[in-house]
Amino acid sequence: MSVQVVRALLAAFFSALIALPVGYFVAVWAGWTLFCTGLGLQLAFHFRNFARLERWSRNPIVDPSLEGEGAWDGVFGRLYQHEKDLRGQIAARDQEIALLIAAGQALTDGVVLLDGDNQILFCNTTAESQLGLVVQTDRGQPVVNLVRHPEFVDYLLLGDFSRPLTLRSERGEDRVLSIYIIPYAGKRRLMQIKDVTQSDRLDRMRRDFVANVSHELRTPLTVLAGFLETLQEIDVDREERTRYLELMAEQSRRMQSIVQDLLTLSSIESAPPPANDVVDMASLIDKLRRDAEALSAGRHQIVVEADSKADLRGSEPELVSAFGNLVSNAVRYTPPGGTIRIIWHTGAQGGEFAVEDTGIGIDAKHVPRLTERFYRVDRGRSRDAGGTGLGLAIVKHTLNRHQAQLDIKSTPGVGSRFSARFATRRVVDV
Ligand code: ADP
């Protein structure tokens, strides 16, 4: 029996103890009156405390001034303590939840939590930007009402999540998302969204590259094999034989150029940062001029405009190959009679090496793609001019390695200007 009950019984017992002699010695009614008054006072006391308790239970705030009287003191004390503990636990749990939400927000992958009806319970900011959601307004909405991509809707509704879904963004950003759905806590689902745009692009580039290399090598190989077969099977005269051998040599040279350019590309791709030699620009430009004249064989006017005596810091073989590519392109894509300018200029902004021509020019739509491997405006023309389609890819890569920028300006039928801009720290004033 609790202390409070014992105390209440004792109070009733003492009322009876006082009322009994009064009833016996004074009058029975006086005894009863005294006993009933005692009990009534007890009842009033308990009723008062009960009413306070009832009032408090409607709004159980933690209030240290809340104290019971007499037997009620312990009850109020324990309730107060219980309420205080409960509030403490809720505050600690709120903090844990806030930390979990902060962890979810910190994830670089998108995360969306769905209930059993695929309604959004939570989504982090990464998922908001990936799927175009707004958590404040979209919480409680079925996710399929907001991400309406048919492939996504089918994937979610079919419920086979053994493989992730690859989704190409509908929002015109060319984004590729990989969506994983992980069921948890019964029918709930966790959507994990990875942005795989970069790896998808690399994958596509790798596939395209392999396909392009195979295609580029297959053509001259087919020609070579054809001539070889002819020579083996048919007895051709000496003149014809010489012509065939010349054509075969040409195809071999073509394959050699492709393989050489591929090797150059792969070596600069995997090489450590370029050397920091001081490249003598005067002699490099002189060599470029001589090479251009040899390639042009008198068909063009070659002009050097070097208004600076400064040199360049970088890898000499790489710069010779990159600048040489620009010069040979200018000669190959400029009809006879045209002019080719080799320009070297330095100033407060750094150094600029440029090659300008009065050649066939390039339509603006091709310019952003010129540095892609094997990209050519006119495949036949490039082949006839002895091109591999890798020259500008090598140029761009080399310039990147030297933290330089390639600018291309061109007007069809008027000419082109390819310029490489180097930062001041790469320019060495002589
Ligand atoms: P290629 O070996 O075919 O010349 P590049 O990578 O050097 O390959 O150049 C890519 C394409 O850019 C060429 O096929 C050509 O269409 C175009 N191009 C490059 N330089 C010039 C230029 N100076 N004038 C006109 N077109 C050019």
Q: Using one digit for the tens of pLDDT, what is the confidence trace for 246-258? A: 999 999 999 999 9
Q: What is the pLDDT of residue 1?
A: 62
Among protein residues, the one with the nearest Cα to ligand 1's atom 4 is: 387
User: What is the structure's pLDDT at 170?
Assistant: 62
Q: What is the pLDDT of residue 84?
A: 87
> Bigger pLDDT: 343 or 33?
343
Residue 259 near residue 251 (C-beta atoms within 8 A): no
Task: Sheet with 350-357: list strands edge to edge.
Answer: 301-306, 339-347, 350-357, 415-422, 405-411
260, 342, 343, 362: residue to mutate for ligand 1 pocket, most atoms within 8 A of CB: 362
Instruction: Examine the pLDDT at 66 and tell me if it is beyond 90.
Output: no
Domains of the chain, CATH where assigned = 3-89 (no CATH), 107-195 (3.30.450.20), 200-270 (1.10.287.130), 277-428 (3.30.565.10)
Mean pLDDT on 11-16: 85
The set of protein residues with a Cβ atom below 6 angstroms from ligand 1 is 325, 329-330, 333, 357, 359-360, 362, 370, 376-378, 382, 387-393, 416
**SS3 state of residue 27:** coil
What DSSP element (H or E) covers 117?
none
Give the Cα separation of 345 and 285 in Å (integer): 12
Q: What is the pLDDT of residue 404?
A: 96
Q: In the predicted model, what is the mean pLDDT of residues 107-121?
A: 94
Task: Locate the ligand 1 atom nearest the alpha carbon of residue 415 and give its number.
Answer: 24
- In a 13 Å sphere around the CA of 150, the CA atoms on its Cβ side amount to 0
- Section 288-292 average pLDDT: 96
pLDDT above 90 covers a percentage of the chain that reads 60
pLDDT at 406 over 90: yes
Mean pLDDT of 268-290: 92
CA distance 390 to 228: 28
